[in-house]
Amino acid sequence: MVSQDYLQKMEIRQNFRNLWHTDLLRTIQADTPYCCLSLFCGPCVSYMLRKRALYNDMSRYVCCAGYMPCSGRCGEGRCPEVCLATEVICCFANSVASTRFMLQDEFNIQTTQCDNCIIGFMFCLSQLACIFSIIAMIVGSQEIQEASQLLTCLSDIVYCSVCACMQTQHKIEMDKRDGKFGPQPMAVPPVQQMSRIEQPYPSTVGYPPPQPQYGYQPQANPQQGYPLAGATYPQPGYPPAGSAYPPPGYPPAGYPK
């Protein structure tokens, strides 16, 4: 059963406002050679990108970045490189998604509607191909069998293409992180920010400092520079004209001078 704390963190992450440096539709144009490399050598690229997402510190590595029940129980601490190689080969889709989630949490990146449509179409096509394969196996119709094979082939093409574009998107985002698009690379975040679930709050890396809202300005410390600069003290017209000040009978009789 999903805990309330888990649901709350996932709800907070829906409010991310940063965007990917390049969306999925423009990754081929942005870095064509890397996209081709991701298409033909997907597991190798996934291995390199995960290691780079961990700032080349494999002591941070957890299987599937902590998103699966087996995470942390696969001997990652003894041989993280072997565990990562096994992950990208046996669970390629999870390895790509885990790297994506890590980057989104680190830089508060939202998934745009366009990216959601592309990823959703990939999943729906895979499910449809699976359903047609099951129906063809049950019915034994040659026409349905051919249709299922066609859908399976189309699903595989879309799946490989979208994963290649996603990995290129991750690579471009880490190029931005590491200063290849600007003079100042970002600092390495603490270890607890490398997990999508375990960190207490979403990371604020890459966010500008919060700005005062509704015209609110912090008040000056009354003990520093008091009275405030620009203030007239005492106020003009005080005490009121014609009034006796100090009042009669003040100070009291016998008051030491």
pLDDT tens profile 211-222: 544 444 444 444
Classify residue 4: in a domain, yes or no: no
Q: What is the mean pLDDT of residues 124-140?
A: 88
Q: How many domains does the chain have?
A: 1
pLDDT tens profile 1-46: 445 665 676 677 778 889 999 989 899 999 999 999 999 999 999 9
Classify residue 207: in a domain, yes or no: no
Please state, in angstroms and as integers, the Cα–Cα distance from residue 145 to each residue in 127, 141, 182, following that order. Answer: 16, 6, 53
CB 60 within 8 A of CB 54: yes
Classify residue 154: in a domain, yes or no: no
Domain that residue 172 falls in: 12-111+166-194
CA gyration radius for the chain? Answer: 31
SS3 assignment, position 109:
strand
Classify residue 3: in a domain, yes or no: no
Asked if omega into 227 is within 30° of 0 (cis), the reply is yes
Classify residue 206: in a domain, yes or no: no
Classify residue 88: in a domain, yes or no: yes
Q: For residue 71, how many other CB atoms are within 10 A of its CB?
A: 18
Instruction: Say what the pTM is.
Output: 0.68
Classify residue 61: in a domain, yes or no: yes
Token pair, residue 104, equals 């989104």
Classify residue 20: in a domain, yes or no: yes
Kindly state the greatest CA–CA separation across the chain.
119
Q: Which amino acid is at 113?
A: Q
Judge residue 169's burial from the number of C-beta atoms within 10 Å of its C-beta, 0-12 exposed, 13-18 middle, 19 or more buried: buried
pLDDT tens profile 149-197: 899 899 999 999 999 999 999 999 999 998 887 655 555 666 544 444 4
